[in-house]
Amino acid sequence: MRRYAFVGVCLTLAALFTALGFWQVERRAWKLDLIEKVETRVHAAPSPLPPPSQWGGDLAYRRVRITGRFLHDRETLVQAVTVHGAGWWVLTPMRLSDPEPAFRRATGHPLILVNRGFVPNERRDPASRSAAQLAGRVTITGLLRTSEPGGAFLRSNDPAADRWFSRDVAAIARARDLGPIVPFFIDADSTANPGGFPIGGLTVIAFRNNHLSYAITWFALALLSVGGSVMVMRSGRKRR
């Protein structure tokens, strides 16, 4: 009786492992499609901001071009670690010039947060990079990014203390009293700013794709479970 119970457990596990293996195969197909989609968007010609009717869709990493005026007095520094070391992202609200009618109806004269790039600690003070505090109309090309609410791993944003660990659009807008704002931000491209800072074009696009190895592991466990049940049944027959 114990032998049959053990075989039943092995076959149940084999079915479970097989299902997990096929799930990882499906996940791999989804991930490859996502990577291809993002690569296409990143290298596409820049387009205008999508209208509000599309804001609920998948907009991440779409390449866009906008024109407006920076509100430098309301910039926000968000802690960052990049290839240039530890420092800060400089997020500056931009008031869009001549927005599309759909934008105007939805938000009035809308603002959007622009991640202008990275500055090291010694460039945290805007006075140390005054050449880049551009006045007048500015055109920016970059990638749309989704908001990062809450903070980073084990570190929560603290608006009251002006400590930011993630680019949380809604929270930053409230803290800076920005009013209506586009619900995503833009990572500026590598076009050099006067004076060299902030450094743009540091968007990291990397998707882990270990699904094939996971699938092989699950299928291997399924085979081992089936093999174990076969061995137990054969040993029982030999005893008889």
* Residues 130-184: tens digit of each pLDDT: 999 998 899 999 999 999 998 888 889 999 999 999 999 999 999 999 988 899 9
What is the C-alpha to C-alpha distance for residues 205 and 8, in angstroms, rounded to an integer? 45
Please state, in angstroms and rounded to a whole number, the distance separating the CA atoms of residues 134 and 149. 28
Q: Which two tokens stand for residue 199?
A: 């450094």
pLDDT value at residue 103: 58
- Residue 198, pLDDT > 90, answer yes
- In order of 129, 156, 168, the CA distances from 165 in angstroms are 22, 7, 9
Contacts of 138 (CB under 8 A, 6+ apart): 67, 68, 69, 70, 94
- Please give the distance of CA 74 from its chain centroid, rounded to a whole number: 24
For residue 2, is pLDDT > 80? no
Provide the pLDDT confidence category of residue 210 given band limits of 50, 70 and 90.
Answer: confident
Per the model's pLDDT, the better-predicted residue between 212 and 172 turns out to be 172
d(CA 95, CA 118): 21
DSSP code at position 49 = P
pLDDT at 148: 93
- Return the pLDDT at 43: 80
Q: Is 59 helix (H, G, I), strand (E, B) or coil?
A: coil
Residues 196-220: what's their mean pLDDT?
82
pLDDT tens per residue across span 85-117 = 999 999 999 998 865 555 555 555 689 999 999
pTM > 0.85: yes or no: no
Q: What confidence score (pLDDT) does residue 184 get? A: 93
The yes-or-no verdict on residue 240 having pLDDT over 60 is no
Residues 6-51 have pLDDT tens digits of: 777 777 888 888 888 888 888 777 776 766 776 777 788 898 888 8
Q: Please state, in angstroms and as integers, the Cα–Cα distance from residue 151 to each residue in 62, 88, 117, 142, 172, following that order.
A: 23, 14, 18, 23, 11
